[in-house]
Structure 1
């Protein structure tokens, strides 16, 4: 009998002590093998968009990583592909649909890029039942309010489909990161269901403002509060507590340099209460996405 991964037990102990049925993680990555290897290489080289040494803890093959998540009790998780240039989204979306067919507890994920035809393929994906999109401004080098995305945002606002957006300037900012394009976008499309990755770090206060003032804007906890990243501003924690109904657990598994449990421990040590932890680690994700998929990827 195969021994369980050593990181499993502390994760299970965390959610069992809270009386939860498991964890709902909205920020997990599974990518096509060729692209996954390329991403690992960028992290291994501490490339210019990484900016520091970043050892990756979970390098197992896809099937093994799925089993690790299952053993930990991560009941729902996405794949979050993200296009880094024109012409890539279609390939990523086809691959992610296949993953969603094979792994029923995964959130059917997709991506888009500012390119001709983006609104059409996003509309088709939404109609087919895609549950979540991911875009990465630092990697893709575009603004959220790029004119080529106007049609996309109209479709997504009407549908209410969540979009995980890496817009903050951590770990390395560039001309496309920060809260500026999100602020401009939400003035035009105020009911977009944006999930701001990494709590918007390093623009923490600015993205908290957006979540407080826009009904469908949420934040995910990915890597924030851990020992690996700059400290979250302590003066913002009362607002984080009050916004607990709009904060979602995120991990960035597998591309993290510490055990999965450390993300959970970092949330617990904020001392915002067990009800806050239950909401972040299960209730909010379950309320946003439900506990099971309503459509099968075609």
Structure 2
């Protein structure tokens, strides 16, 4: 395998990331338990660490928790992608006036992946304000990594039902369900069976940390194997309470084989984003 492609890593403006880390340090209500940040480094060192791990491409997952943030975050993310060649240009959005215009601008500037965080943003993906966004991203074939599962605690608009309604209207939308849909693993696998453009990332799923509170049902391993061309490596780096390698060890421990691992850790994302092969 020539390296790893990680579709769920976080790079944000420093003052935003500081607030995120402070929330983790305080074991905020969406966490509910101590959550030490393993890779609490400044930006350049975090990029270097990923390179040292063999990560050939990664994202800069960032997201607003209120209106009037997303366009500013998108500007920062465009600059970050320009100075970090391994980063897939990432963008985000929020249901607000003008969202269609700044999402279109991000796509025209080269955004290759978007992040939607339904839990932190506390919005319904079916909000009418987002109708032009989903149509644009569906037509453009730009993936949207979406925290839509109800882990670590349910939100007002998490779970498979809101995303299911969205996909019924936009069946070609390239939703990447973060965290394998934790804890509604089965229901999100059902959506992947129904919609061929739905993918799932592995972020924090199957690790010892997550298995204690939301174990992946071993009865679903055959379905995880069968969907092997639509499972993508995600890690949540740097905001993880264990070493990066543990995510990889957890995937290998499933015993689904080298071909499955290579597809998940590299080939599927390379195909999705049209990255050069080796």
Normalising by structure 2, report the TM-score. Answer: 0.97
SS at 1:265 equivalent: helix
Q: What residue number does 2:130 align with?
A: 149
Superposed structure 1 runs of 4+ greater than 2 Å apart: none
1:238 counterpart = 2:219: no
**Number of paired residues?**
273
1:30 counterpart = 2:14: no
1:116 counterpart = 2:100: no
* Aligned mates of 1:69, 1:193 — CA distance in 2: 26
1:75 counterpart = 2:56: yes
Q: What residue number does 2:257 align with?
A: 273
Residue in structure 2 matching 1:172, options 153, 156, 159: 153
Cα deviation for residue 100 of structure 1 reads 0.4
* Aligned mates of 1:51, 1:236 — CA distance in 2: 27
SS at 1:76 equivalent: strand
1:282 counterpart = 2:266: yes
Task: Structure 2: give runs of 5+ residues left out of the alignment.
Answer: none
Q: What residue number does 2:144 align with?
A: 163
Task: Structure 1: give runs of 5+ residues left out of the alignment.
Answer: 1-19, 293-298
1:92 counterpart = 2:73: yes
SS at 1:133 equivalent: strand
* Aligned mates of 1:221, 1:291 — CA distance in 2: 20
SS at 2:229 equivalent: helix
SS at 1:34 equivalent: helix
1:258 counterpart = 2:242: yes
Superposed CA RMSD in Å reads 0.8
SS at 1:239 equivalent: helix
Q: What residue number does 1:49 align with?
A: 30
* Aligned mates of 1:257, 1:110 — CA distance in 2: 25
SS at 2:116 equivalent: strand
* Aligned mates of 1:228, 1:100 — CA distance in 2: 31
Residue in structure 1 matching 2:173, options 150, 168, 192: 192
* Aligned mates of 1:106, 1:174 — CA distance in 2: 29
1:61 counterpart = 2:42: yes
* Aligned mates of 2:26, 2:223 — CA distance in 1: 37
* Aligned mates of 1:145, 1:205 — CA distance in 2: 22
Cα deviation for residue 274 of structure 1 reads 0.6
Q: What residue number does 1:106 align with?
A: 87
* Aligned mates of 2:50, 2:184 — CA distance in 1: 30
Cα deviation for residue 290 of structure 1 reads 2.4
* Aligned mates of 1:124, 1:39 — CA distance in 2: 27
* Aligned mates of 1:172, 1:231 — CA distance in 2: 14
Cα deviation for residue 128 of structure 1 reads 2.1
CA shift digits 1:56-94 (9 cap, x unpaired): 100000000000001111000010111111000011111
